């Protein structure tokens, strides 16, 4: 039997490797989390130590595939529909109408929305439902493109399926459930096609400059509960790349308990009822 404990040096090396690639930083208090998530994978591969696994991640011909697996192991994917409802209320009542009104009225107007770090898709689909329910009736000529991205391909597969359990549904208003879900066996909530077809999911690592330059012309970016896991340099880099991805007049919304203070001065901070958003002027 090999000794698969994580030494101090191995922990430092592994967390540096992870933070350089993904932005995610594990403080000392999360050492056990990293160890317990990664160890079964090392055992499965028949490797002898965390050092061997690091070598495998860096030099194996299968390193690309292994990185995908590592991303699945170490990301926290907690999410649900209408998370921090107040923010969605502000988006629906103030932010989206302002963006839409500011668009030129020649031909069809298109709204481009990005759920960055979308996990299993609930955030992106919440926006899609709000669009159908509240925005489309007011602006019938409007089209919407919603893109959900994440580094973890397993959660994106779940997002594409659009089938959810009760846990995700806690804050979905009754009338939305009736209209936009089909309930199977009393416990599976299947999103209807009308909602699903508004959203496209694809893998993007927010720290990957090559992928990030492809993300352009967004009117609204939701980057909620993602940067909390990053170190400060990574936060700064990501916020700057997200800024470049946005249209003038567009808004960035971060998590309810998050702030861009000390990270950037590029945005105008706009205060709404009990929440703030960041506008690219």
Ligand X SMILES: C[S@@+](CC[C@H](N)C(=O)[O-])C[C@H]1O[C@@H](n2cnc3c(N)ncnc32)[C@H](O)[C@@H]1O
Cβ contact 189:183 at 8 Å: yes
The DSSP letter of residue 227 is G
Residues 150-179 that bind ligand X (CB under 6 A): 150-152, 155
Rg of the chain over Cα atoms, rounded to whole angstroms, equals 20
Cβ contact 278:257 at 8 Å: no
CB nearer to ligand X: pick between 139 and 272? 272
Task: Return the bridge partners of 150, or none.
Answer: 203
Angle at Cα 90 formed by Cα 112 and Cα 250, nearest 5°?
Answer: 35
Position 279 contacts ligand X (CB under 6 A): no
Position 225 contacts ligand X (CB under 6 A): yes
- The binding track of 54-93 with respect to ligand X, each residue x by CB under 6 A or -, is ---------------------xxxxx---x----------
Is the Cα dihedral 119, 226, 198, 131 positive or negative? positive
CB nearer to ligand X: pick between 143 and 200? 200
User: C-alpha dihedral over 168, 120, 148, 87, to 10 degrees?
Assistant: 30
* 253 HSE (CA, 13 A, CB side): 27
Position 250 contacts ligand X (CB under 6 A): no
Position 19 contacts ligand X (CB under 6 A): no
Position 224 contacts ligand X (CB under 6 A): yes
CB nearer to ligand X: pick between 2 and 24? 24
In angstroms, what is the minimal distance from the CB of 115 to ligand X? 6
Q: Which stretch binds ligand X (CB under 6 A): 138-146, 174-182, 201-209, 257-265?
A: 201-209
Position 211 contacts ligand X (CB under 6 A): no
Cβ contact 281:250 at 8 Å: no
* Nearest residue to 148 via CA among 222, 202, 198: 202
Q: Which stretch binds ligand X (CB under 6 A): 9-17, 125-133, 181-189, 204-212?
A: 204-212
Can you read off the two tokens belonging to residue 38? 């990664």
In angstroms, what is the minimal distance from the CB of 244 to ligand X? 16
Position 10 contacts ligand X (CB under 6 A): no
Instruction: Please report how the helices 63-74 and 8-22 are oriented relative to each other, as an axis angle in degrees rounded to 10.
Output: 100
Task: Determine which residue in the list 19, 22, 168, 245 makes contact with ligand X, applying CB under 6 A.
Answer: 22
Task: Determine which residue in the list 18, 123, 135, 212 makes contact with ligand X, applying CB under 6 A.
Answer: 123
The residue ranges that bind ligand X (CB under 6 A) are 22-24, 75-79, 83, 117-119, 123, 150-152, 155, 205-207, 224-226
């Amino acid at each position: 039997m090999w000794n698969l404990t994580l030494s101090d040096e191995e922990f430092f090396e592994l967390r540096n490797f992870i933070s350089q690639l993904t932005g995610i930083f594990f403080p000392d208090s999360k050492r056990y989390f990293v160890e317990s998530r990664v160890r079964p994978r090392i055992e499965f591969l028949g490797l002898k130590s965390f050092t061997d696994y690091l070598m495998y991640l860096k030099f194996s011909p299968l390193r690309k595939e292994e990185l995908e697996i590592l991303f699945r192991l170490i990301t926290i994917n907690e999410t649900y529909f209408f998370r921090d409802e107040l923010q969605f209320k502000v988006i629906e009542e103030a932010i989206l109408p302002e963006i839409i009104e500011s668009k030129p009225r020649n031909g069809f107007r298109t709204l481009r929305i990005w759920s960055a770090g979308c996990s299993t898709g609930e955030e992106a689909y919440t926006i899609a439902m709000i669009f159908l329910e509240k925005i489309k009736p007011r602006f019938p000529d409007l089209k919407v493109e919603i893109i959900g991205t994440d580094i973890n391909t397993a959660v994106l597969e779940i997002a594409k399926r659009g089938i959810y359990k009760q846990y995700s549904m806690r804050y979905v208003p009754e009338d939305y459930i009736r209209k936009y879900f089909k309930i199977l066996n009393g416990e599976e909530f299947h999103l209807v096609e009308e909602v699903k077809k508004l959203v496209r999911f694809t893998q993007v690592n927010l720290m990957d400059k090559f992928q990030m330059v492809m993300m352009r012309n967004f009117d609204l970016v939701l980057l909620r509960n993602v940067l909390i896991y990053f170190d400060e340099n990574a936060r700064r880099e990501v916020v700057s790349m997200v800024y470049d991805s946005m249209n003038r007049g567009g808004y960035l919304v971060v998590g309810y308990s998050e702030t861009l203070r000390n990270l950037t001065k590029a945005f105008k901070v706009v205060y709404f009822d009990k929440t703030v958003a960041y506008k690219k002027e």
